[in-house]
A and B are shown apart, each in its own frame.
Chain A
Amino acid sequence: MVIPHDFEYVRPNTLEEATRALADCSGSAQVLAGGTDLVAWLRDDAVHPDLVVDIKAIDGLRDLAVADRTMTVGSLVTFTDLMESSVVAEHAPLLSEAAETVASPGIRNRATVVGNICSAVPSCDAGPVLLAYDAHVHLVGPEGFRSVPIEAWFVGLRQTARREDEIVTHLTMELPTHGGCYVKLMRYGGEDLAQAAVAIVVDDAHDYRIAFGAVAPTPVRAHAVEDAIRGRAPTEDVIAEAVAMVRSEISPINDLRATAEYRAHMCEVMLARGLVAADQRRNGDGPEYRTRLI
């Protein structure tokens, strides 16, 4: 089986060339980084671009560093890069924890974090974590640079705030001293998409940021839950209060990986366990990062 449509391919060396190629394209264009989604979609004929712009030869898109508590993740950073980075493990451990659950090594070596949120499928593992880290997505287009808060990024099923002539350059996250977790429910402990997922960040003031994945058309931030328990340690009562609110924050569906009811129930279980683990980790104890909580 081959890719059923021909297209033009360019591999520019600078962002200027890349944005010009996108702007000059009279038909539709796709940006290519790792290609683990795009090539599969090309083959399925789900996308049929006239032009594919490969951004892998552009310098400066591989940053992975922390300065003044702000982490930068370039748009060519792969999930393997996240897993192997001591900087990420120290400052943004939820990124390492989520990266390890993505597909398998042969995909993680190629797939980028930014590509994951550009594809924007409901189960994307980077989505909940970046929501919990309150990330900003930085883009460049014909009108210059702009940034989009991650909450405004996911606008629908496989739809993002990126305009067709824009390229994501990097993500930034301001990281408080925090504990947290990424809990992913899968059918088996190997390569699988999330049936449901939750990311939790808690800081020293017990200010929480909570986001769910695979239980709505986009990853969703659970503001109502956060507001209800802000400032309080996750005691049994606080957890019960949080858990009681979960179903009004999500809208899961039935599909081949799980029923809506199972997803909703497991979101409650994962939130309860996750709140405890996140707070323990903030204290420097609890289960190590990258050990599965479910």
Chain B
Amino acid sequence: MQVTITVNGESWDLDVAPADVLLDVLREQIGVKSPKIGCERGDCGSCTVLLDRRTVRSCLVLAVEVEGHEVTTVEGIGADRLSDLQELFITLNSFQCGFCAPGIVLSATELLDENPNPDRHDVQEALSGNLCRCTGYEPIIDAVLAVGQRSGEVTP
């Protein structure tokens, strides 16, 4: 089937089978590698992408379903310059192996879009579907909270 999908602002005309999953199409046909192949059943969050600005599991979405919709990955978020969240991830050592990081950055980006100054519980809830086996989550939560605190500061 011919479908047109917008990925990180760029329009792609693709030939996909109905059984092709968005995650595989992003990685293999488009070459966007930040969404990772983890559990492939919606539990781990490493394949998270934004679909029309809301997080979804790209392993549980068929590519044909996103015809006419907009997909954003971390390649799209950090294209011109790193977001505050991405910078704080580096400053605060919020990832080690990095496998979960793209999914976590997107989940936190969705949260901060809706709630620029979240509390600790909000952050934990927003990241509840993203598994990290390295960090113990604390530096990740610190980074998201720090973005919120930064957004509350008055720029001179």
Task: Let me know if A249 is at the binding interface, CB within 8 A.
Answer: no
Complex CA–CA separation, A56 to B56 (angstroms): 15
Complex CA–CA separation, A40 to B61 (angstroms): 9
Total A-B Cβ pairs within 8 A:
90
Once the chains bind, are A40 and B55 in contact (CB under 8 Å)? Answer: no
Complex CA–CA separation, A52 to B1 (angstroms): 14
Once the chains bind, are A35 and B65 in contact (CB under 8 Å)? Answer: yes
Once the chains bind, are A6 and B56 in contact (CB under 8 Å)? Answer: no
- Say which one of A105-113, A234-242, A276-284 lies at the interface with B: A105-113
Complex CA–CA separation, A107 to B57 (angstroms): 7
Once the chains bind, are A35 and B61 in contact (CB under 8 Å)? Answer: yes
Q: Identify A1's interface contact among B40, B45, B125, CB under 8 A.
A: B40
Near B by CB (< 8 A), chain A positions 39-58 give 39-40, 42-44, 52, 54, 56
Once the chains bind, are A2 and B57 in contact (CB under 8 Å)? Answer: no
Q: What 0/1 pattern do residues 14 to 48 of B give for CB contact below 8 A with A?
A: 00011111001000000000000000111101001
Complex CA–CA separation, A43 to B42 (angstroms): 12
Task: Let me know if B93 is at the binding interface, CB within 8 A.
Answer: no
Q: Identify B1's interface contact among A9, A103, A107, A191, CB under 8 A.
A: A9
Complex CA–CA separation, A35 to B129 (angstroms): 17
Q: Which residue of B lies closest to A42 (CB)?
A: B19
Once the chains bind, are B42 and A109 in contact (CB under 8 Å)? Answer: no
Which 7 pairs between the two chains have the least Cβ-Cβ distance? A104-B129, A9-B18, A190-B128, A3-B19, A106-B55, A39-B60, A109-B54
A contact residues vs B (CB 8 Å cutoff): 1-3, 5-9, 11, 32, 35-36, 39-40, 42-44, 52, 54, 56, 80, 103-107, 109-110, 190-191
Cβ contacts A to B, 12 pairs, < 8 Å: A2-B24, A6-B18, A7-B18, A8-B18, A9-B18, A9-B64, A36-B42, A36-B60, A44-B41, A104-B130, A106-B57, A107-B57
